[in-house]
Amino acid sequence: MANERENVIEISHLTKKYGEKTAVNDLNLTIREGEVFGLLGPNGAGKTTTILMLLGLTEPTGGQALIAGMDCARHPLEVKSMVGYLPDNVGFYSDMTGRQNLRFTGRLNGLSGRELEERIDRLLERVGMTQAADRRAGTYSKGMRQRLGIADVLMKDPRIIIMDEPTLGIDPEGMRELLNMIRQLSEEDGRTLLISSHQLHQIQQVCDRVGIFVEGSLIASGTLAELEEQIRKDGVYLLELNVQPCDDKLLGMLYQQDGVEDIKKEGNTLLITSKKDIRSDLTEFLGTHGYTILNLHQRGGDLDEIYRRYFEKAGQNDERNDSDKKKKHGWKK
Amino acid sequence: MKEMIQTKRKSMDGKSNAGTVRGLTGLGALYHKELADHLKSKRFLILLLLIGSTGFASLYGAVTALSDATGSDYLFLSLYTASGSSIPSFMSFIALLGPIIGLALGFDSVNSERAGGTLNRLVAQPIYRDSIIIGKFLAGTAVIAVIIYTMGVAVGAVGVISTGIKPTGEEVWRILIFLTFTVIYIAFWLALSILFSVFCRHAATSALASISMWIFFAIFMSLVASIIANAAYPMNDEYSMIFNSLPNYTLRLGLNRISPYYLYSEAVSTIMNPTVRSVNVVTVDQLQGAVTGYLSLGQSVLLVWPNLTGLAALMLIAFGGSYIGFMRQEIRAN
């Protein structure tokens, strides 16, 4: 099973325009069965639009999205019967209890009788909501709504689960539970998950692969290691350095070093941009010149840096980014 | 591998066949949920109380009026049409207050789902999107029918007990037709309020918009109609009155009939008063040699058939508008 994973979501040249504005621009993406894919991007990058197109809720302007070989725009009913969707800020009918809300969803999916009741009980148990199941949904906290939302998504026993910003507004404990749940859904149930988020750290822990989505375009996708590799290939390294003593003489000497391109000073921390890994050279150099290294850290490697780097890259040929940069400068002064 | 593909194909075929069935179960589930929501809500209780109290107040007025009345052949119908002790009749009460039922049931039907975040959860289920709005409309109409038929029959029953007047078969039919007209009339207001709930983001806005429509049609439409008619065919002096009174009246009538309130009032007063023989202008010439008498049920219905068609058309236009609006609208999460 594991070695012949099929592509369960195939998106090719998917484009969506709202008037002049392009929300999603020529998106190509493949997600394999059983994978956890993280769709990362800032707010307004077109993540939700992409998800809505996958569910057949929004008509694409061009291109197509296939789920299990079915066109999402042409067969929305079949697609929606195997795709569970957890919207951001999921809502329930506040006058109905949690159980009644689940029952309604079950009925909409054609379940009834004992099968329905058993599934409700099992899912409530699974998300830990059995205690609160008969309280009105209006009294639930955000975290409880989220858990009920997951039970709600699982009512239809979906092959694919799409979560839109599931980590938003969840406390750390709830976050841990959510991530555990995501892992469980993927590893134990073998479901495919597509998670959209702008919160990197949480997603980093559970995703097999991530895609970085900026202004409607997917600018990179792959495993974390692959993305890291990609950045390395660009030949830009960023080093965080704290030394004692930190004087102007040091700066001048550092510029002389082979490979160093630029040095910025942020408080006591020096940010050194270089073309190659200069860590070993630098350690030796500083050691011989009587400096004490307090902190030496190569940035990159964590998603945060990758994310930031890709945003910068995407913004280079973008005017809006220019104005952002100007703003930054102004702020510095 | 081949087998896997074949079974997969089979299950897919099965699914697409089940598509229509599934759509219907979706509609059924939605209809049941909406109906249960309405019936359990405080709103429904308030509406029932409002209509109940006005219904019985008007019945009280009618009974006092009837005690002075000299014999009419359709005495039982007067329970619904007669007004006394400065209390309007049941019929005019319903014409004025009935829209409130429709508006109250529909004004937040779509936008509250949108605001509550339940709409995008709902549309992600394997149901046709139109079954959401159809389910809402059908459930609302069912609630309206329950309220109206219950009240109509209850008023009649209390009337029988308190006055001892027995209805004839024809009277029963007339009352049933009257109640059916009422349901269609109120369903129009339901459709209108659903229309506003589709297009207005906030429930308060759509409530305000639908209430202003109601007030406009119930109160201001007749004023507007007479202003326009007088402007088109002035009746300032005797000379112009001779020539203009007929076209003036016809134009005013035509304009008034745009209003569902007028359309409904005209129709039900014809149905409930067998003495009404025409809904248009009748000249003295036409009345010459006419024998006074009652119109048979069939003829009464024939007389207001256009009104019925007009009302039903207005209802369908309003619902169609909300249907199209809902289907074309983007389902955005935020």
Whether A89 and A51 map to the same domain: the answer is: yes
Predicted local confidence at residue A305, as pLDDT: 67
Lowest mean pLDDT among A199-208, A238-247, A300-309: A300-309
- Nearest C-alpha of chain A: how many angstroms from B332? 8
Note whether A298 and A277 are within 8 A (CB).
yes
Q: Does the beta carbon of A164 lie under 8 angstroms from any beta carbon of chain B?
A: yes
Calpha distance B116→A14 (Å, rounded): 30
* B18 chain-A contacts, CB cut-off 8 A: 110
Is residue A228 domain-resident?
no
Query: Taking residues B54-76, what's their average pLDDT?
Result: 78
Q: What's B274's DSSP letter? A: T
Residue A82 lies in a domain: yes
Reported ipTM exceeds the 0.90 cut? no
A1, part of any domain: no
Examine the domain organization and report whether A211 and A262 are in the same domain.
no
Nearest to A93 among B21, B30, B118 (CB): B118
Which pLDDT score is estimated for B9? 41
Question: What domain count does chain A have?
Answer: 2
C-beta atoms of A52 and B12 within 8 A: no
| CATH code assigned at A216 | 3.40.50.300
For A105, the closest of B15, B32, B125 (CB atoms) is: B125
- Which segment, A255-264, B5-14, B69-78, B301-310, is predicted with the most confidence on average? B301-310
Interchain contact B334–A (C-beta under 8 A): yes
Between CA A91 and CA A138 the distance in angstroms is 9
State which of A155, A189, A222 marks the end of a domain.
Answer: A222
Read off the CATH number of the domain in which A268 is found.
3.30.70.100
**Neighbouring C-beta atoms of residue B68, cutoff 10 Å:** 7
Q: Answer yes or no: do A263 and A196 share one domain.
A: no
Stretch 28-57 of chain B: residues touching chain A, C-beta under 8 Å: 28-30, 32-33, 37, 40-41
- Note the pLDDT tens digit of each residue in A44-101: 788 888 888 888 888 888 888 888 888 888 888 888 888 999 988 888 998 899 999 9
> At A301, is the pLDDT very low, low, confident or very high (cuts 50, 70, 90)?
low
Q: Is B294 or B91 the better-scoring residue by pLDDT?
A: B91
> Mean pLDDT across chain B, nearest whole number?
84
pLDDT value, residue B71:
60
For residue B213, the model assigns a pLDDT of: 93
3-class DSSP state of B87: strand
Closest Cβ opposite residue B333 in set A84, A88, A110: A88
A267 in the same domain as A206: no
* Cβ(B121)–Cβ(B331) below 8 Å: no
Peptide bond before residue A245 is cis, with ω within 30 degrees of 0: yes
How far apart are the CA of A176 and the nearest CA of chain B, in angstroms? 24
- Cross-chain Cβ contact A88/B41 below 8 Å: no
A16 at B interface, C-beta within 8 A: no
Cβ–Cβ gap B117/A110 under 8 Å: no
Q: Which amino acid is at A103?
A: R
Q: Does B79 touch chain A (CB under 8 A)?
A: no
Cβ contact B233:B248 at 8 Å: yes
State yes or no: pLDDT of B326 exceeds 60.
Answer: yes
Measured in whole angstroms, how far is the alpha carbon of residue A199 from the centre of its chain?
Answer: 6
From A222, A250, A266, give the residue that closes a domain: A222
Residue B109 tokens read as 């039907």
Residue A227 lies in a domain: no
Question: In chain B, which residue's Cα lies nearest the Cα of A155?
Answer: B125
Nearest CA in chain A to B11: A78
Reply yes or no on whether the pLDDT at B192 is more than 90.
Answer: yes
Same domain for A164 and A243, yes or no, is no
Question: What is the pLDDT at residue B210?
Answer: 93
Alpha-carbon separation of residue A8 from A29, A54, A164 (angstroms): 11, 12, 19
Residues A246 and A201 in one domain: no
Indicate whether A168 belongs to any domain.
yes
Range of the domain at A270: 233-332
Residues A194 and A244 in one domain: no
Shortest CA gap B198–chain A (Å) = 17
- B26 to chain A, any CB pair closer than 8 A? The answer is yes
CB contacts of B123 in chain A (<8 Å) are 55, 57
**Residue A94 counted as domain residue:** yes
| Residue A324: band (very low, low, confident or very high) from pLDDT cuts 50, 70, 90 | very low
Q: Residue B117: is its pLDDT beyond 60?
A: yes
Shared domain check, A245 and A174: no
The pLDDT, as a whole number, for residue B15 is 43
Task: Please tell me which of B81-90, B126-135, B288-297 the model is most confident about, judged by mean pLDDT.
Answer: B126-135
The answer as to whether A323 is a domain residue is yes
Q: Chain B residues with CB inside 8 Å of A148's CB?
A: none
Final residue of a structural domain among A163, A198, A222: A222
What percent of chain B stands above pLDDT 90? 29
* Same domain assignment for residues A179 and A50: yes
Cα B206 to Cα B103: distance, rounded to the nearest angstrom: 9
Per-residue model confidence as pLDDT tens digits over B107-116 = 989 988 888 8
Q: By CA distance, what is A89's nearest residue in B?
A: B117
- Asked if A83 and A43 sit in the same domain, the reply is yes
* Residue B196 predicted with pLDDT over 50: yes
pLDDT beyond 90 at A315:
no
> With 50 as the cut, is the pLDDT of residue A321 above it?
no
For the stretch B285-304, pLDDT in tens is 777 777 777 778 888 888 88
A5 in contact with B, Cβ within 8 Å? no
Quick one: A114 and A18 in the same domain?
yes
pLDDT-above-70 percentage for chain B: 90
Separation between Cα atoms, residue B275 and residue B295, nearest integer Å: 6
Tell me how far CA of residue B75 lies from CA of A89, A289, B61, B79, B217, in angstroms: 60, 116, 14, 7, 31
pLDDT band at A234 (very low <50, low <70, confident <90, very high): low
How is chain B split into domains, by residue range? 24-327
CB pair distance less than 8 Å for B124 and A85? yes
Q: Which residue has the higher pLDDT, A14 or A330?
A: A14
pLDDT at B183: 94
Please, which residues have CB within 8 angstroms of residue A137's CB and are 6 or more apart in sequence?
A92, A93, A94, A95, A96, A97, A98, A101, A145, A148
Mutate to test the interface with B, among A53, A108, A115, A197 (most CBs of B within 10 A): A108
Q: Are residues A241 and A111 in the same domain?
A: no
Whether residue A63 contacts residue A130, with contact meaning beta carbons closer than 8 Å, is answered with no
